[in-house]
Structure 1
Amino acid sequence: MSARTVGFVGLGIMGVPMATNLVNAGVDVVVWARTPGPVAELVAAGARAADDLPGLFDAAETVILMLRDEAAVDAVLGRGTDEFVRRVRAHTIVGMGTFTTAYSRGLAVEIGDCGGRYVEAPVSGSRGPATQGTLVAMLAGDDEAIEQVEPLIDAMCAQRFRCGPVPAALSMKLAVNTFLITMVTGLAETFHFAAQTGADTEVLRAVLESGPMASVVSRGKALKLTDGDLAPQAAIADVLRNARLIEDAAVATGTAHPLIRVSRELYQEAVEGGHGAIDMIGVITVLEARTRSTRDSARFTRGGFAE
């Protein structure tokens, strides 16, 4: 096992560009995935492929996990089996996905009890920033472990912030996602309102981009709307999962959350309507469907609609 070799598991929509940036930074990266396509892409970029998960943990002292959910993390680490101790002992496990704070806290304790170290490192950003290396990382864990992985984080992210002990980074990530989800939902409603009331959406985009509310996210999502481009940067199904995590945390702490509740309902409706794979700004399809339904079920009267 080499301290200079880094394992990377989770070669999805963000994992592939993140791992590629590590390779491009000169890091010796070994990867593994259930499907061969992403592995072949990383090998072509300069990474090495592990034959299996035990081989990856044998090769790398630090293992980065960019996995979708808790079940995937447990499966990769062999949690609940004899493999768990072997895979985490003398390893630094870096969890870059978004999970519940209770799960992360428990995982950190178990890894520590087995002689390993755990660093929370969720990131803010989607596929675009992942490709450009402009993600923002939030870090939590033991200071020494964080210092060890910060050079790796710097290869994938433009900025990083230490948040405290586990699970402080995930608490921060959920707060950041609250802003992201409600902002993008509001942007979708803004464009829907404009389109339905006769405003030119191209002009609307120009106005928003020129004003104080403009941001990288708002510019990118507004452009996707005017271009009719719903290819996923952050898929609706993933956004729904994050909205549920936020809502669950809010309920558990007795925290008011009216905006995230409404947003979660809209993204859930989008998934139920078969739109889970499109970009999150595609939540506008739910608003369009609701408007059609309202108009279909209402009697038109002068000046508006009435039941």
Structure 2
Amino acid sequence: MQQNDQTLRVGFIGLGIMGQPIARHLLKAGTPLMVWNRSPGKSAECEALGAAVAETADAILASCQTSFMMLINEQAADDVLGRGRPDFATRMRGRRLINLGSVAPEWSRKLGEDIRQAGGEYVEAPVSGSRIPAENGELVGMMAGREADISVARTLLSPACNAIFICGELGKALLMKLAINQFLLAMTTGLAEAFHFAQMQHLDLATLKAALDAGPMASNVSRVRSAKLMTADFSTQTSVDDALNSTRLITEAAGAAGIEAPVISTCRAILQRAADQGYGNDDMAAIIRVFEDRPLAS
């Protein structure tokens, strides 16, 4: 790929709970960014740090040789990229897309094929972590794609991560993230169930948290979520809707491979009930409300 004055900036599409802090880390590291978000107000923090603000996603793709994308799901990404429309190839020719979003591995693999057929390059680069690790630059990145493009993506993303792992061919980085999320989702669901159990047994929740924090199962995730469960603070680190999407991706990938996933299937059912009860935008610690409102049948 050749570079000219018009393509010196790096694009960043999607400034949500995770995208916003990642973009800020890149700016603070000196990366010249052009940013775009569906809700324009979310661009203000990045603009204050020196980012150019694009009026449309098309302007990002037209002006930037390399762009990050972190959107909520596959449909949103297809809409922004114009995939399936005649001008998709024109948009992606000579461009490199680094996809940070949590999407289906097979969809990502096919997107990579479409971009390469159009004359562009694609890197799959999901990150593991929630809002606080993102704000602290402590995410764990996973990457798949061609070596030269991974090298570019790794250099750019490093300020937002404390570790980056190369996972092989397209699809593998997302499968790796899904494996990690299986443990994370099961742990958080189990923690909410434990706090509900303690409540119903009239135990002191502060003592429960202290005992968990002192024990061998303690982690940054358990400490943050136990504090939320103890105080009923459901301000979002990872939303119920995002966690539910992860369970969807995991169960679909497991089903396609003929793998049993009973624990995540249960987590999916609990998260779906939480979403149905109106907690979709809250932190996934809010699933304790599912147990409080109507315990699951055994």
Query: TM-score per shorter chain, which class?
Result: over 0.9
The residue matched to 1:274 in structure 2 has which SS? Answer: helix
> Counterparts of 2:21 and 2:241 in 1: how far apart (Å)?
20
Structure 1 segment 107-118 matched on structure 2, within 5 A: 107-118=111-122
Among 90, 93, 102, the residue aligned to 1:98: 102
Aligned AA (1:118): Y
> Counterparts of 1:249 and 1:125 in 2: how far apart (Å)?
21
Among 6, 9, 13, the residue aligned to 2:13: 9
> Counterparts of 2:37 and 2:263 in 1: how far apart (Å)?
37
Aligned AA (1:261): S
Aligned AA (1:152): L
The residue matched to 2:271 in structure 1 has which SS? Answer: helix
The residue matched to 2:294 in structure 1 has which SS? Answer: helix
**In the alignment, which residue of structure 2 is the partner of 1:177?**
181
Does the CA contact (< 8 Å) of 2:14 and 2:38 recur in 1? no
> Counterparts of 1:132 and 1:169 in 2: how far apart (Å)?
22
Could you list the per-position Cα deviations for residues 128-183 of structure 1 after superposition, in whole angstroms to 9, with x for gaps in the alignment? 11111111000000011001111111011111000001010011011111111111
> Counterparts of 2:112 and 2:245 in 1: how far apart (Å)?
22
Worse-matched range after superposition: 43-52 or 268-277:
43-52
- 2:229 aligned with 1:225, yes or no? yes
Among 218, 223, 244, the residue aligned to 1:214: 218
Q: Which runs of 4+ in 1 moved over 6 A?
A: none
The residue matched to 1:273 in structure 2 has which SS? Answer: helix
RMSD of the alignment, in Å? Answer: 1.3
Aligned AA (2:207): V
- 2:142 aligned with 1:141, yes or no? no
Among 65, 76, 96, the residue aligned to 2:80: 76
**In the alignment, which residue of structure 1 is the partner of 2:280?**
276
Structure 1 segment 1-307 matched on structure 2, within 5 A: 2=6, 4-291=8-295
> Counterparts of 2:17 and 2:118 in 1: how far apart (Å)?
31
Does the CA contact (< 8 Å) of 1:236 and 1:277 recur in 2? yes
Structure 2: which 5+ runs fail to align? Answer: none
Give identity over the alignment, percent.
43
> Counterparts of 1:55 and 1:262 in 2: how far apart (Å)?
43
> Counterparts of 2:7 and 2:201 in 1: how far apart (Å)?
60
The residue matched to 1:254 in structure 2 has which SS? Answer: coil
The residue matched to 2:143 in structure 1 has which SS? Answer: strand
Structure 1: which 5+ runs fail to align? Answer: 295-307
The residue matched to 2:157 in structure 1 has which SS? Answer: helix
Deviation at 1:117, TM superposition (A): 0.7
Count of residues paired in the alignment: 293
Could you list the per-position Cα deviations for residues 175-213 of structure 1 after superposition, in whole angstroms to 9, with x for gaps in the alignment? 111111111000001111111112211001001101111
Does the CA contact (< 8 Å) of 1:4 and 1:27 recur in 2? no
> Counterparts of 2:249 and 2:61 in 1: how far apart (Å)?
29
> Counterparts of 1:81 and 1:159 in 2: how far apart (Å)?
37
Could you list the per-position Cα deviations for residues 74-125 of structure 1 after superposition, in whole angstroms to 9, with x for gaps in the alignment? 1111111122112211111001001111101110111111111110000000
Does the CA contact (< 8 Å) of 1:77 and 1:83 recur in 2? no
The residue matched to 1:277 in structure 2 has which SS? Answer: coil
Aligned AA (2:35): V
Larger radius of gyration: 1
TM-score (norm 1): 0.92
Deviation at 1:3, TM superposition (A): 5.1
Aligned AA (2:271): Y
Deviation at 1:4, TM superposition (A): 3.7
